[in-house]
Structure 1
Amino acid sequence: MSRYEIAFSGRTVPGAQLDSVKANLAKLFQADAQRIELLFSGRRMVIKNNLDAVSAEKYRSVIERAGAIVEVVDMDAPVEEIELAPPPAAAPASASAQPPAAQAQGRLKVAPRDGYMAAFAAVDAPDFGLAPVGTDLQDGKPEAQAPRVDLSQFSVAPVGSDMGQAKAAPAAPAPDTSHLKLAD
C-alpha cells in the first residue's frame, strides 16, 4: 500500500485572490498569520505525510477548494539516483601561489560540490580567509573625548547662600467659624 505526502509551494488556483486564499488556509488549518506567511514563503513545505490514497485526495481537494494548489507525492516511489561529477583536481602548489590572469587578485573561485551548489559557481566572492585563533576581529574604538565647554563665566556660590529657591507661601489665616453651631 502506497503512502503519500501533501506538499505546498505557495502556488494558488488561477484567478484566486492571494488574501482570500491566505484567509481560507488560516481558517482551514486554524493557524495564525505568521504560519500562513511561512507557507507562502516560496519554499516547498510538507503539510501532511504518511497518508493513504483516499486521505491524500481528500486533503488535495479541500485545499484546492480553499484556493491553493498542493502536490501529492508518492513516498514509496523509487528515488532516482543521480551520479555527481567528480570534484575538480586540486591545483599544484606553484599554481596557487599566483592567481590566473582571468581571476582577480583576492577573489575566491567557487567549485560546486553538487547540483545545488552549481548555481553559485559564477559568484564573484571575495576571499576573506580565516584569522588565527584568538585574533580580535572587531576594530578598536577611539578613546572618548570630553566635550570642550567654556565654563569661565560661571562661579560657585558659598555654602548656605540663597540659590533662588522658590519661597513657600505664607500660611493663610484660619477661617472664622464662631458663627457656626452644631444641631442636636
Structure 2
Amino acid sequence: MTADLDLTVTGPGHALRDRLLALDFRIFEAVAARHWPGADPLLPKLSRSANHGLLWFGTAAALAATRSPRARRAAVRGVASLALASATINTLGKRSVRRPRPLLDAVPRVRQLKRQPITTSFPSGHSASAAAFATGVALESRPLGAVVAPVAAAVALSRIYTGAHFPSDVLVGAAFGAGAAFAVRGLVPT
C-alpha cells in the first residue's frame, strides 16, 4: 500500500510543511542534547513498559483491584479508549503517512531503546495509547485521571527522549488518543 502523505519529499509547494518539519527536527535535537538528571535510566524503562499497552493494562488491573465501582469503570473506559486509539493508529495512522524514525546520532546511547521500532514514525502509537488511557480514566474519575496523567505525559516524553519519535509524532498521537477517549464517551456516556 502506498502512503497518502510522504513527509520525506521536499521542494516547491511544501514551504510551510518544510518549515514545520525543520522546527520539529530542531526541537528533537534540543531534547536529544538536553540532560535531565535521573531521566536516562528511567525514561527508556518507562517507554519499554508501555509496549503493547502493558503499562496501561497493569494500571487498569490495579484500578479494578481497588473494588471501587468508579475505579473499575475508569479502568474499563481507559482500556476501551486505548483499544480504539491503538486500532486507529496501527491501521490508518501508520499506513497513511510515510515518515522515517529520527536518526539516533544526537541521542546518547544510554537513552536509546535496546530494540528500535521498525514501523513508520508518524504518529506515535505509545503516545496515542497513553493519552487515550489517561483521558478515558479522567472522563470517568478526575482524581484518578490526575494520578494517571503525569505517567502518560512521561511516556509521551520518553518517546522523544529515547529517539523513537519526533515531537510532532507524539503530539499528533496524543491528540488521536484523547480523541479516541471522547469517541468512546460518545458511544458509552459517563
Settle same-fold status: TM greater than 0.5. Answer: no
Q: TM-score, normalised by structure 2?
A: 0.24
Q: Which of the two has higher C-alpha Rg?
A: 1
The structure with the largest helix share of the pair is 2
